[in-house]
Amino acid sequence: MNIIVLFGPPGSGKGTQAEILAEKFQLKHVSTGDLFRYNMKNNTPLGIEAKSYMDKGSLVPDELTTEMLKDELKRNSEQKGFILDGYPRTTSQAQALDSLLEELFQTTVKVTIALNVEDETLVHRIKKRSIDSGRSDDADENIIRNRIKEYYDKTAVVSQYYIDQEKFVDIEGEGNREEITAILSDVLVKWI
């Protein structure tokens, strides 16, 4: 089973690229943001708790996120692999993911790919996304900047976890969608 992690700050394009790559490589795209929104929309206990964190621009605690992910992976266990978008966001989540993948599929993450994008580009993209999609968590610039800061403070350090395992590739995430897709596809062909 192929497990790919797309990594990057909010607005880096990882969701868009994950959808394209999932179709191209016949993998299931799992977005933790989508999992949060699904659980919040359906007022599940996990969703209600997750919303309280997201509304402040904070990361959802590891245990909640991992539980949502576990449910989703189990529901889709017949897939030949997954592209994870938005998870892991902390080193403890990366460790939990290792345990979860071993438990469910007797496998590990194949590769983690990080998309690097300038902060001002991220803010612009997220504000545009708010207008296009109506997502309330994307409308307030202070919350946007807090989410970006949270990413750098807490999530970016996870890269070292995968660097140490020689499962990390860093790419430039600015440019047009097709160019970035081509670069990501070239990387994935080498790993899966």
**Look-up: residue for tokens 């990080």?**
114
pTM for the predicted model, two decimal places = 0.85
Query: For the domain 2-185, what is the CATH code?
Result: 3.40.50.300
- For the stretch 136-190, pLDDT in tens is 667 788 888 988 998 888 777 899 999 999 999 999 998 899 999 999 999 999 9
Mean pLDDT of the chain: 90
Residue range 143-155, pLDDT digits in tens = 889 889 988 887 7
CA dihedral sign, ordered 63, 69, 75, 78: negative
Report the SS3 class of residue 174. Answer: coil
Q: For the chain, give the longest Cα–Cα distance.
A: 42
Q: Does residue 96 have a pLDDT over 90?
A: yes
CA nearest to 128, candidates 142, 138, 143, 115: 138
Q: Regarding predicted confidence, which is higher, 135 or 80?
A: 80
Model confidence pLDDT, tens digit, residues 21-38: 999 999 999 998 788 888
Give the Cα separation of 18 and 100 in Å (integer): 21
* Percent residues over pLDDT 90 in the chain: 58
**Both tokens of residue 65?**
């996120």
Residue-range domain boundaries for the chain: 2-185
Q: Is 80 exceeded by the pLDDT of residue 103? A: yes
pLDDT (tens digit per residue) in 62-73 = 889 899 999 899
pLDDT attached to residue 95: 95
Residue 95 near residue 164, CB atoms below 8 Å? no
